[in-house]
Every structure is written in structure tokens, then in C-alpha cells.
A and B are shown apart, each in its own frame.
Chain A
């Protein structure tokens, strides 16, 4: 562990948000952002395992070319419900609603979010939306693909499309309310001295994410509302048989759903931007550039949506413009990556579990991001669009990127959330299992894609089998990698070693209060006098003020 053995035996604080009140009502009616975060944690975990179960079925089924496990209809339901559960009910709320909810007020020195009741409401909205979607899953399932392309979804599908659409429509408002709450909180609730450029990068990332949430989500809401009304009442905007245009649906859908990818990855980037400076004990390299890159991604991310539609018959001019903008949005991600690596330089690096996740994130995000270039590039997209290449690419970003960030963040802040440490070695091993299993699952899919295996096939020509077998083998390793943290984190929450206020130690405001924090977060409102990630002027952290390990480079810094 990181701290010296000098510390006496730590004990849990007497009063904290977990024991402030008792009983089921105290949880279901709580307006404490920390408790709401835990409610979200439970519900997104639930959907993660539902989605994971579908994923397992998919991979098992694809072990042989003729797919022995499921019928075509069942398989189609599996991949659709996998996508819906994972994207709308796990990835989008995961980091913002769990870690963001818990940490943003703590990080900026506030007692709570600006609108605690709206925060609770957003969880209930999520639950109601989730219930509708679950109902769709058990009452006939959903077989339209998570993209709901019309007219398949509005006219031809025989599955329970309407309840799923209603569910996602409702859940959208949970996302909007969360984003709204974060934006207002970051604007108006910062503690004295917490200027914009003293904000932790996690907060910047959530600021950018919230912009996407409030501007994009309403568009998917109205789009799904129109699609739902088309299915139920025959409205006709997206139905070619009535003179409507299915491509319009795709425009509206991707106007949200492409930026939604940034809702998933930006918060993970925020987590990584916390982990790397903390475990390298060094300022984040190029703080202003990393912050600006977050905003740039949020804004340019809105200008690239039709790169999902290059082969729909879109106009050539539009395709050129959108492809160009797609290459532009790659740049801020590259800038972030370089800055993270540069942060390592001259640091004092430890390999605690969160840092292993950060390294894992770096590697996987690098591959995921760079393979995006193949898809954003018009020439190669003609070939690999709608193949397994796409599947591999977005799993590298969303599973490799977002979930690595999420798990890294959970490990990092678990002592803050529960007051207790997780078992370090078990955690390191499972991070490793996760990394290996992930690559084995998804790397072969790049090869499958370039060979030309289309997505969403329940059977496939035998020449694709080798890579499918590898992928399924990897998936079973991956499943263990996800089950382990779930088990030991739960165990640690009750029985782990008491962590103390700042076990790492880290520089953020959230570590200046007790673990777990009080209901009102801080006994007195803190006053911020230090720069973010500054280990040098923080005697309170109990570290050497001299860079013992660091050979300060003679050149190359300013």
C-alpha cells in the first residue's frame, strides 16, 4: 500500500452518511447525492448483469457457424436487448450517475447538488424507464437492434417495441435532469477559492458530458416518441410506404446517439485524468489543454453524426463534410492521451489497482480510438461499415474505455464511498484478467470485420469460425473479470480494512473530508488555496516535499 506504516489502527468515523438514518424509507426518499449515487450503483449493476447475460448467450451461440444455441429470432432479441440494456441503462448513467453524483459536490466543496430533489426524481425516472424496458424484454422481447431503424422497428417487427421505446424515452429525462443538475451545480455551488481552473478534471469532464446530455437527449426523446407514435398510431414521418423517410430517423437518432458515445467516454476520461496524477504523484500535464479537449470533444462531437450513415445514400458533399469533422474530433482525444502519458514522465508511479485500470484504459482506448480512424475515413468505411470491425471498435471504446474507467474509478473511490479498502491483490489480478479477456474477446473481431463478416448474424460462413471461437473463449475470461470485482467490492464494503480519510493520498477536496463523508459532506465549507494535483505544496498529505525519485529534466518543461 501507499502510505507508510506509521499510521495507527484506523477506525470508521462515528457519524457518516451511511449511518445517518436507517430503514428502507431513509434510502428511497433520500435527497443525499451520495445515497442516490449508491441507488444508481445498484440499479446500473443490475442492468449490467442483464446485458452481460445476453452477451454471454450471444458469444456462446456464435461458437459454431450454424449457431446451435438459439433460434434466429431469439438471437436477434439477445443482441438487441444486450445493446439496449448496456447503452441506455448501464453505460450512459454509469459514471455520471454513480461516480459523478457521489463526487461532484465533494470535489467542488458543496453540501449537495443544486437540486437534490430533482436528483432523486431522476433516479425514479430511470427506474420507471427501466421497468418499461424490462417489461418489453419479458413480454416478447425486442428484435429491432438497439438502433431502432425504421421501418423495421415501426412496421415490420413483431416484438414488444412500444414499451421499450417508452422506457428509453422516459430514461432520457433522467439523463437530462442529471446533466442539468451537474451544470448548475458546477456553475453556482463551488466552494470559495475553487476557481474554474482549479476544478479537478473529473468535474470538467462531467461539465462537458452534461452539455451533451442536455442538448442531445431531447432529440432522441422526440425521435423515439415519433417512432413510437408511428408504430401505435401510424404517424408516418419515417415510413416510406406513407411518404416518410427512414433516413430522417437515422439523422435524428444519430444526432443524439453519436454524441451519446461521448456521454459514455468523457466521464471515463475524467476518471483517468484523476487516477494518473494521483498515482504518479504529479500534476496533470497540460491541465488547460486537457480541459479544453473535453469541451472540444463535446462540441465537435455534435458535428459528426452522419458518419454512421455514409452508405445510406447520403449526399456525397455531406459525407465529405462529416468525414472531415470526424477526423477533427479525433484530435482532442489524441491530445488527452499524449497528456496522460506525459504526466507519467518524472512521476513517482505506483501500481495500485486503479492505476492498473488507468494503464488498461490507455491501451484499450488507444486501439479503440485509432480504429475509429478506419471507420471515419470514407474509403475504408465502404468496406468495414456494418461489419464486426465496427463491433470491435465500439466495444474497445465503450467496454475497454468506459468500463475500465468506471471500474478504475470505483476502486479508487471505494474507500471514500464505503470507508473501507478492497483486497488489493485480488483486485490487481482481476484487473489483469479483465485486460486479457477483453483483448481476446474483441481483437479477433477486427479481423473478422475486415474479412467481411457483417454484424448481427446469427449464422455465418464457416471461414469466419476461427476468430469467433477465440472471441467466445475471451468472453468467458472477461465474464470472470467482471464477476470478481462485483463480489470482492461488495465484500469490502462491509468487511474490508478501514481505509481512513485519504489512503492514497490524493489531492482532491473529496479526500479532505472523512471516509465515508458526513451527510453534509464537510463540517465547515472548505476554502481552496491550492492548485489541482499539486503534491508539492501540500504538507497535509504527509509526503516528501522533494521529488525524491524525479530527476527533474533539464529541458522540456516550462
Chain B
């Protein structure tokens, strides 16, 4: 009750049109970028463009730009917790070293220990 906004902000359709055109342009960009060999940065570029698109949708289509602070806080909390889940789990995997000194081992099904043979 203390935090509510009384007047609702109305975004004009022209803004929506501009946003959708940007989104379509970015879609084209991401496809184009996928065909350029950037090595390991392909995924970085793809995710960066996706995040940009998502941000536009959240800010304008979902009116987050005009929403109370609390809504923004909730969005940030969601991103933060998602980052926790992904980041902290992957932090375990990328710092793993197995008994042969192999980094990032998750599965070695095709290899057998001597005791497993015969």
C-alpha cells in the first residue's frame, strides 16, 4: 500500500513498434553472427544479443521500466538466483581435476579401470 503507484503509465503503440522492429533486427543479427567463426565467443555474442532482446521485452513490453521499485527488485532477485544456481554449480565443475589430472571430468564411461576388465 505504501509503495503503490496510482497512475498507470501507458506506453504508446509507436514505442512497441520501435521495439518489435529492434527485436527483429537483433534476431537477424544473432543468426548472422552465428555464421561468423568467433571461436568460443560465438556463445558470448549469442547470449549477449539474447539478453539485450530479453531486456527490451522486460522493460517495454512488460512495462518494467514504468513499474514500482519493488517489481524491479523482484526481477533482479530472479536474475541473481538464476545466476547462483548456474554459477555456483558450474564453479564446482570447472575447478574439478580428476585422478589423472584431467580437468572438468564429468564422464569417462568409455574408459575402464584395470579391475573392471576381465
A and B touch in the complex (CB under 8 A): yes
Q: Residue-by-residue, is A214-255 near B (CB-CB < 8 Å gives 1, otherwise 0)? A: 010001000000000000000000001101110110011001
Bound Cα distance from A188 to B4, whole angstroms: 9
Residues of B within 8 A of A251 (CB): 89, 92
Which listed residue, A244, A247, A316, A321, touches B91 by the CB 8 Å rule?
A: A321
Which listed residue, B77, B95, B107, touches A318 by the CB 8 Å rule?
A: B95
Q: Is A538 an interface residue (CB 8 A)?
A: no
Q: Is A314 an interface residue (CB 8 A)?
A: yes
- Assess whether B107 is in contact with A240, with CB atoms less than 8 Å apart: yes
Residues of B within 8 A of A88 (CB): none
The residues in A between 204 and 220 inclusive whose CB is less than 8 angstroms from any CB of B are 215, 219
**Stretch with Cβ within 8 A of A (4 or more), from B18-26, B39-47, B48-56, B80-88:** B80-88
- Assess whether A315 is in contact with B97, with CB atoms less than 8 Å apart: yes
Q: How far is the CB of B50 from chain A (nearest CB, A)?
A: 20
Q: Is A302 an interface residue (CB 8 A)?
A: yes
Residues of A within 8 A of B4 (CB): 188
- Assess whether A303 is in contact with B70, with CB atoms less than 8 Å apart: no
Q: Is B115 an interface residue (CB 8 A)?
A: no
Which listed residue, A190, A219, A240, A306, touches B92 by the CB 8 Å rule?
A: A306
- Assess whether B85 is in contact with A255, with CB atoms less than 8 Å apart: yes
Q: Is B106 an interface residue (CB 8 A)?
A: yes
Residues of B within 8 A of A219 (CB): 85
- A residues neighboring B (CB under 8 Å): 187-188, 190, 215, 219, 240-241, 243-245, 247-248, 251-252, 255, 302-303, 306, 313-318, 321
- Assess whether A314 is in contact with B81, with CB atoms less than 8 Å apart: no
Q: How far is the CB of B108 from chain A (nearest CB, A)?
A: 9
- Taking residues whose C-beta sits less than 8 angstroms from the other chain, chain B's interface range is 20 to 34
Bound Cα distance from A219 to B77, whole angstroms: 15
Bound Cα distance from A252 to B85, whole angstroms: 8
Q: How far is the CB of B71 from chain A (nearest CB, A)?
A: 11
Query: In this complex, which of B3, B70, B88 has the most chain A Cβ atoms within 10 angstroms of its Cβ?
Result: B88
Which listed residue, B77, B97, B109, touches A241 by the CB 8 Å rule?
A: B109
Q: How far is the CB of A219 from chain B (nearest CB, A)?
A: 7
Residues of B within 8 A of A302 (CB): 81, 84
Bound Cα distance from A187 to B92, whole angstroms: 37
Which listed residue, A188, A190, A252, A315, touches B95 by the CB 8 Å rule?
A: A315
Q: Are A318 and B84 also in contact (CB < 8 A) when A240-B107, A241-B109 are?
A: no
The residues in B between 64 and 79 inclusive whose CB is less than 8 angstroms from any CB of A are 70, 77
Q: How far is the CB of B101 from chain A (nearest CB, A)?
A: 13
Q: How far is the CB of A323 from chain B (nearest CB, A)?
A: 13
Q: Are A317 and B95 also in contact (CB < 8 A) when A215-B81, A302-B81, A303-B84 are?
A: yes
Bound Cα distance from A346 to B94, whole angstroms: 54
- Assess whether A314 is in contact with B92, with CB atoms less than 8 Å apart: yes
Bound Cα distance from A188 to B81, whole angstroms: 24
30 A-B pairs, CB-CB below 8 angstroms? Answer: A187-B70, A188-B4, A190-B1, A215-B81, A219-B85, A240-B109, A241-B109, A243-B107, A243-B109, A245-B106, A245-B107, A248-B106, A251-B92, A252-B89, A255-B85, A255-B89, A302-B81, A303-B88, A306-B88, A306-B92, A313-B96, A313-B98, A314-B92, A314-B96, A315-B91, A315-B92, A315-B96, A316-B95, A317-B91, A318-B95
